[in-house]
């Protein structure tokens, strides 16, 4: 079974600074996807960024980028120029290529933005 | 339309009641999922539907009964629930498409309280 581990229950960052959220995973599959989802208090689960395992290039979406280390099974999220609206729970998630088993989530990291 | 719509947003029900949660998407996604999320925890997979067929039931008690009448609609029928079933119930869909290729799109959830 796949597992996803987020070792930082809570992180705090000053507005406009950069923060990195950690995630490691374990799988024996070769075809899979990794995701970061954001869940603000409004509870909507919002896709932040995704990475296909077969792609060596790290995904980026505006201020969000990942450091995907396939051999180390590490998938960290970097948020640059942090904004107050980035405050939320961030979940790292794994999906097999076919998606038949849905998403496996880490326990989440609560991100606090200090003004 | 790039959304997953869940109704109702809030539901309070007694332990002897019968109620249903509804989830709808019009993105042409052929995989749909029910997740249960307790406070400060990650979502836990309950059911997976692929092409309107139930493909995964994660040992969910029979008081939860899923139904997929067509490719756009997913229901979760509730009967004789227990107070510990109080949680946020999230619906998600997955598939290639313009919204989020190979990503999962979540609804905003139904906050269920069992009294």
Give A42's contacts in chain B (Cβ within 8 Å): 108
Is the pLDDT confidence value at B38 over 80? yes
DSSP E strands: which ranges in A3-59? 3-5, 10-14, 19-21, 24-26, 32-39, 46-52
- Which residues face B42 on adjacent strands? none
Cβ distance A63 to A75 under 8 Å? no
Percentage of residues in chain A with pLDDT exceeding 70? 100
CA B95/CA B33 separation, integer angstroms:
12
- Output the CA–CA distances (angstroms, integers) from residue A2 to A73, A77, A106, B111, in the order listed: 11, 20, 11, 28
Per-residue pLDDT, averaged over B50-70, amounts to: 90
Q: What integer pLDDT is reported at residue B32 of this predicted model?
A: 93
Two structure tokens written together for B102:
């190979």
Is the pLDDT confidence value at B111 over 90? yes
∠ CA B47-B92-A35, nearest 5°, is 105
The more confidently predicted of residues B59 and B83 is: B83
Is the pLDDT confidence value at A11 over 90? yes
Is the pLDDT confidence value at B100 over 50? no
Res. A41 pLDDT band, cuts 50 70 90: confident
Largest Cα span, chain B: 42
Query: Which residues of A make CB contacts under 8 Å with B?
Result: 33, 35, 37, 42-47, 50, 52, 91, 95, 99-108
């Amino acid at each position: 079974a796949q597992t996803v581990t987020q070792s930082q229950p809570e992180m705090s960052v000053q507005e406009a600074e950069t923060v990195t959220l950690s995630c490691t995973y374990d799988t024996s599959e070769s075809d899979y996807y990794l995701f970061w989802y954001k869940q603000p208090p409004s509870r909507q689960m919002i896709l932040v960024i995704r990475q296909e395992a077969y792609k060596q290039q790290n995904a980026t979406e505006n201020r969000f980028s990942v450091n995907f280390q396939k051999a180390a099974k590490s998938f960290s999220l970097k948020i640059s120029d942090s904004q107050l609206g980035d405050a939320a729970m961030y979940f790292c998630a794994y999906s097999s290529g076919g998606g038949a088993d849905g998403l496996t989530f880490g326990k989440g990291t609560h991100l606090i933005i200090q003004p | 339309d790039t959304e997953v719509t869940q109704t109702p947003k809030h539901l309070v029900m007694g332990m002897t009641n019968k109620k249903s949660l509804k989830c709808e998407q019009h993105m042409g996604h052929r995989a749909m999922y029910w997740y249960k999320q307790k406070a400060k925890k990650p979502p836990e997979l309950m059911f997976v539907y692929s092409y309107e067929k139930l493909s995964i039931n994660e040992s969910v008690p029979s008081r939860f009964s899923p139904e997929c009448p067509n490719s756009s609609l997913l229901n979760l029928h509730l009967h004789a629930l227990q107070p510990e079933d109080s949680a946020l119930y999230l619906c998600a869909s997955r598939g290639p498409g313009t919204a989020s290729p190979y990503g999962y799109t979540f609804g905003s959830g139904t906050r269920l309280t069992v009294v």
